[in-house]
Amino acid sequence: MYGTMDEDALTPLHPNYVKAVRLGTALFALPLVIGALVLETAGLLPHGSFVVPALLVALYGVLRVPLRRYHARGYQMGADRLRVVRGLLFRSDTVVPFGRVQHIDVLQGPIERGYGLATLVLHTAGNHNASVALPGLGHADALAMREAIRAHVKRETI
């Protein structure tokens, strides 16, 4: 009755998601770059043999990967179901019917809070995909989606 959804275009995440992932990756890469610098000063190998690869990997991880991840992700809010698509190499395309949602979380980490983002998590009773997370939503959007799903669940239950 609602069609297959597969042909419809996905809703992209909030643009700030790229920045948030970049900041997260940068914080993760920082100790590695510092480690490379320390090894460099020890002077074991010719100049640049530690710092150059480390910096290249860090730059690729900070600049390119978040953008690709942003384009790989997306969601689609149906009348009675949520579709979540993610993954660069390993694609995953999950649909959760609202009628199977046990409870809903809206999470905000420190970085997400800084960019006004939130992660919506739907919990089902299934062992596989027990909780389906959708990061990179605007906080207000996430709250609105939560209310919509909750209203649906409530309406169905009454």
Partner 1 sequence: MNVAVPAAPSTTAEEWRRTSRTGFVVRGIMAVRNAALPLLAALVGSGAWKQGWLVIAPLVALACAIGFATSWLAWRHFRYRLGDADVRVEKGLLSRTARSVPYERIQDVSVEQALIPRLFGLVEVKFETGAGGKDELAIGYITEAEGAALRETVRARKSGEGAITGADDRAEPEARLLFAMDLKRLLTFGLFEFSLVVFAVLGGVLQQFDFLLSFDFWDFDAWLALLAGPGHRLGELGLVAQALGAMLALSVLAVLGLVTGLGRTVLRDYGFRLEETPKGLRRRRGLLTRTDVVMPLHRVQALRITSGIVRRRFGWHGLSVVSLAQDTKSESHVVVPFGTMEEIAPVVETTGFVLPGSATDWHMASRRQRNDSIALAVLPLALMAVAALGVALAARAAGLPASGPLLAAFGLAAFGAFLAVRAWYLWRHRRHAIDARQLFVREGWLAPHLAIASRVKLQSVEIAQGPWARRRGYADVNFGVAGGKLAMHGVPLEAARAIRAAVLDSVAAVDFSRLPG
* Binding footprint of partner 1 on the chain (CB under 8 A): 1-6, 80-81, 89-102, 124-130, 132, 153, 156-157
Contacts 24+ apart (CB under 8 A), 1-9: 2/78, 2/79, 2/80, 2/81, 5/76, 5/78, 5/81, 5/83, 5/95, 8/76
For the bound state, the minimum distance from the C-beta of residue 3 to partner 1, rounded and expressed in Å, comes to 8
Nearer to partner 1, 123 or 139 (CB): 123
Nearer to partner 1, 16 or 94 (CB): 94
For the bound state, the minimum distance from the C-beta of residue 71 to partner 1, rounded and expressed in Å, comes to 15
Nearer to partner 1, 40 or 93 (CB): 93
Sequence letter at residue 68: R
Nearer to partner 1, 29 or 134 (CB): 134
For the bound state, the minimum distance from the C-beta of residue 8 to partner 1, rounded and expressed in Å, comes to 12
Neighbours of 39 (CB within 10 A): 15
For the bound state, the minimum distance from the C-beta of residue 48 to partner 1, rounded and expressed in Å, comes to 32
For the bound state, the minimum distance from the C-beta of residue 11 to partner 1, rounded and expressed in Å, comes to 18
Beta-bridged to residue 138, according to DSSP, are: 117
Nearer to partner 1, 90 or 110 (CB): 90
DSSP string, 12-48: P--THHHHHHHHHHHHHHHHHHHHHHHHHHHT-SSTT
List the structure tokens of 11.
């809703």
